[in-house]
Amino acid sequence: MESLLFWFFTFGMLLGGIGVIANRNPIASALSLVISICFLAGLYLLLNAFFLAAIQIIVYAGAVMVLFLFIVMLLDLRAEAKRPFRWGAFFVGLVVAVLFFVAIARVTHSMKDRFVAAPFGNPDNITAIGNLLFTRYLLPFEVTSILLLVAMIGAILLSKKELK
Amino acid sequence: MDIGLQHYLVASGALFSLGLFGIIFRRNLIVVFMCLELMLNAANLTLVAFSRFTQHMDGQIFVFFTITVAAAEVAVGLALVVAIFRIKGNGKTESLKELKF
């Protein structure tokens, strides 16, 4: 059952990723990204990360994608009209991506069966995350708030009418 | 067939390669940005997979922070795209060539 779900979620995630690249219309790309992210949240569930699966849906599929769609519609980006297909970029991208994937596959193959999975299902997931977050990772957690403040100020400054 | 750590890592590598391919191939700035998100998500999947297979929760905390950084990055990046769009009049990667030698 677990392996069936793994293949289901993985293929959904990769198909969503292909949809992001293959669609000419940016809105269709954004919706494919939502599909990919939702399937990825399914993979998180399989990996005992229940809290992260919920956060993934809320933050990515909710907030980030709304921001993307908002900007796409604000800028009124039309689907890319008929333009010459960029064979050069296509082949360079394909070669680089395939080489990278082969490298990763070879490296991960060598670590076969060296790790044992924790048993599936961990009801204390959120408790454990909260404990770690407020003890060992308290300082990074607080610094994150400064990062968000900086991002907020940056976004407001950048979107002002006249850039000095 | 049992699903081991390497299955998750290969899936994550495939997602990362898709994002890499999209960044090189596409020329719409916003779609390039979405491919960047794909790559970030692939890295997150790796961290969560290691978190389960080494029985440490720390990987999940890292992903928590990565998601925060990604949200901040999207806010600033999209503001940059809007500014570029306002100056250049389009959102193509070819129009950004001031630093070209």
3-state secondary structure chain A: CHHHHHHHHHHHHHHHHHHHHHCCCHHHHHHHHHHHHHHHHHHHHHCCCHHHHHHHHHHHHHHHHHHHHHHHHHHCCCCCCCCCCCHHHHHHHHHHHHHHHHHHHHHHHCCCCCCCCCCCCCCCHHHHHHHHHHCCCHHHHHHHHHHHHHHHHHHHHHCCCCCC
For residue A42, the model assigns a pLDDT of: 92
Alpha-carbon gap, residue A52 to B61, rounded angstroms: 9
For residue A72, the model assigns a pLDDT of: 86
Whether residues B5 and A74 touch (CB distance < 8 A) is answered with: no
Q: What confidence tier does B89 reach under pLDDT thresholds 50, 70, 90?
A: confident
Alpha-carbon gap, residue A145 to A141, rounded angstroms: 7
Domain residue spans of chain B: 5-90
Q: Which of B2, B9, B29, B30 to mutate to test the interface with A (most CBs of A within 10 A)?
A: B30
For residue A80, the model assigns a pLDDT of: 60
What's the rounded mean pLDDT across residues A82-104?
85
For residue A117, the model assigns a pLDDT of: 72
* ipTM here: 0.90
For the domain with range A2-79+86-122, which CATH number is right: 3.30.420.40, 3.30.930.10, 1.20.120.1200, 2.60.40.290?
1.20.120.1200
Q: Show residues of chain A in contact with B20, CB under 8 Å.
A: 93, 96-97, 100
A–B: how many Cβ contacts below 8 A? 223
Whether residues B55 and A98 touch (CB distance < 8 A) is answered with: no
Say yes or no: A64 contacts chain B, CB-CB below 8 A.
yes
For residue A78, the model assigns a pLDDT of: 67
A-chain residue closest to B81, CA distance: A71
Quote the pTM value.
0.90
Q: Any idea which fold B5-90 has?
A: Helix Hairpins (1.10.287)
Does residue B46 surpass a pLDDT of 90?
yes
Residue numbers of A between 9 and 28 with CB closer than 8 Å to B: 10, 13-14, 17-18, 20-21, 26
Does residue B88 surpass a pLDDT of 90?
no
Interhelix angle A65-75/A26-46, nearest 10 degrees:
180
Distance from CA of A36 to the nearest CA of B (A): 8
Q: Show residues of chain A in contact with B22, CB under 8 Å.
A: 17, 20-21, 93
Q: What confidence tier does A79 reach under pLDDT thresholds 50, 70, 90?
A: low
Q: What is the pLDDT of residues A104-151, one digit of tens each?
A: 888 887 777 677 777 777 777 888 888 888 999 999 999 999 999 999
For residue B96, the model assigns a pLDDT of: 81
